[in-house]
A and B are shown apart, each in its own frame.
Chain A
Amino acid sequence: MIDWVAFGIVAIVTWISAMLIVAAYAFGVRLLAVAKDEGKNTSLSKTGAYACFTVAGLIVAFGVVLIVPQLSEAVLGFSSSH
């Protein structure tokens, strides 16, 4: 039968992960723009920006780990494979 739950999972996972990645990266871009404009506290803004980029990268890495059965078993201790 049609597994509507699977479609729901795809939709929710796509929306949440994409928005988290884009939000993290966008905050990074904004902080870099702030660092360039305002002069003071540049290093703080820049560090924040790179932290944001790292968060975006970590979300992607987590997603890849979840998908690869061998990796998710090694890193998380379980596999969500069907």
Chain B
Amino acid sequence: MDLTLIVVLVIALALFFDFTNGFHDTANAMATPIATGAITPKKAVALAAILNLVGAFLSTEVAKTISGGIINEDPSTGVAIGPAMIFAGLMGAVIWNLLTWLLGLPSSSSHALFGGLVGAAIIGAGVASVNYSVLLSKVLLPAICAPVIAGVSAYLCTKLAYAITKRQNGASPKRGGFRYGQIFSSSLVALSHGTNDAQKTMGIITLTLVASGLQDSGSPVHLWVVAACALAIALGTYTGGWRIIQTMGSGLTDVKPAQGFAAEVSTASAILASSHLGFALSTTQVASGSVIGSGMGRKGGEVRWGTAGRIALGWLFTLPAAAIVGGIAAWIVHFGTPGLIIVTVLGVGAMLTIWFASRKQPHGAETTMSDIDNSGAAVNILTKKQRRAKAKADATQAKLAAANKEADNS
């Protein structure tokens, strides 16, 4: 098969991945302001799409991490893996992504991408082709640290927002004012999404160009690559928005404007800071960390650790699972042109099957809920009545324990 044809195939698949990423993540940024009525759905979706487009142009640090760090360089050929292997890895990522989307499992498209790529590289070019130190310090550790950092930030910010707006004389705090702030904080989340997620695709395309000898290794990302990725993610965001509008009002978590504002500002800050240092993290995971943190910051907020654990388990699973799919695809691709054709046919077949299967499911099913809503369910906010009842029960229990102790002593 011609070298340029495989390069075109990889670029097309990468842009498709970028599109699904935007499609999948619109809800993360815009669901809350739509739900609180701060902005009309049409405007929210258009705003998110434009900001994703702008965000993609802001930085290329994450793209450099992917194109020049994770896969080791081979002194003779430049990069240890060829475009066919990258194609196999991408196919693994796309299929794993669509499968988790269909089944409503918590997943991260970013980790699916890295998993697929690493799996394909190990099978296609050996264990030594992956730079594990970069993988650990720029992908795996940020995946754990960034959601925690964002969660702590959201917790502190929620406490702060409620403390500052609390009125002493019992006057109304009018926290509804945060609703308008949420338009800006959500926009910031959309912008940060563009800076981190669009760059992953830029990195993949640049890696392909370097691997096929069309670009010098270590040279900056081409402008047309940036523009293509920006357009793909913006288009995906816009298309995905219509899906949210249709299913609005189903299963949205109870997020108050002040809390939502604190969570979104934390998410955007964490993602932007990470993007700047080249950490390729999952924006969904960071946003989930913020939602849980801000829920804990509210009065009466308590975490349902079971639900939170189930979500974290889904995340842990993503990288190795996508690596296995990517590895299998790489193994088939190993047989040359026929292998490549088989992977393409199987991959497109799997995509179509998943797409048709998803159409059969009724609306409002778990697949249409955003991952953020899932993590919102991990926090239980007690009402005033429940809080009082709990305090009473605790007091009674303490009294009982004290009485028992006295009885024991006497």
Contacts and interface: CB of A to CB of B under 8 A. Distances in A.
Given A10-B279, A25-B178, A63 B269 contact: yes
Contacts, number: 127
Interface in B165-221: 165, 167, 171-175, 177-178, 181, 184, 188, 191, 195
B153 A18 contact: yes
B181 A82 contact: no
B408 to A, nearest CB: 47
B106 to A, nearest CB: 23
Name the interface size band of chain A.
35 or more
Residue among B160, B262, B272 facing the most chain A CB atoms (10 A cut-off):
B272
Contacts of B165: 26, 29-30, 33
A7 B145 contact: yes
Interface string A68-82: 110000000000111
Nearest to B152: A15
Contact of B278 (A17, A28, A69, A82): A82
B354 interface: no
Interface in A6-43: 6-7, 9-11, 13-15, 17-19, 21-23, 25-30, 32-33, 36-37
B373 interface: no
B174 A6 contact: no
B277 A67 contact: no
B198 to A, nearest CB: 14
A64 B269 CA distance: 10
B295 to A, nearest CB: 16
Given A2-B141, A32-B174, A23 B160 contact: yes
Given A22-B160, A25-B261, A33-B171, A67 B275 contact: yes
A8 B191 CA distance: 23
A15 B153 contact: yes
A29 B177 contact: yes
B261 A18 contact: no
A37 B165 CA distance: 14
B58 A68 contact: yes
Interface in B82-117: none
A31 B187 CA distance: 24
A55 interface: no
Contacts of A37: 171-172
A67 B160 contact: no
Interface centre among B142, B165, B175, B188 (most CB of A within 10 A): B165
A60 interface: yes
Contacts of A44: none
Residue among A21, A22, A23, A68 with most chain B CB within 10 A? A22
Interface of A: 1-3, 6-7, 9-11, 13-15, 17-19, 21-23, 25-30, 32-33, 36-37, 53, 56-57, 60, 63-64, 66-69, 80-82
Given A13-B269, A23-B161, A30-B173, 14 more contacts: A1-B137, A2-B133, A2-B137, A15-B153, A18-B269, A22-B161, A22-B265, A25-B181, A28-B177, A33-B167, A36-B174, A37-B172, A56-B181, A82-B61
Closest 8 CB pairs of A and B: A26-B164, A33-B174, A29-B177, A22-B157, A18-B269, A2-B137, A14-B269, A13-B273
